[in-house]
Amino acid sequence: MATTTRDVDEHVAEIRARLEKLKAKLADEESRLDELEAPPDVREHVAELRDEVEAIEKEIDDFQADDAR
Which candidate, 61, 46, 67, places its Cα nearest to that of 16? 61
Residue-wise pLDDT tens digits, 23-34: 999 999 999 998
In tens, the pLDDT along 36-64 reads 899 999 999 999 999 999 999 999 999 88
Q: Which of 52, 64, 69, 65 is nearest to 8 (CA)?
A: 64
The residue ranges of every structural domain in the chain are 5-68
pTM of the model: 0.75
End-to-end CA distance of the chain: 24
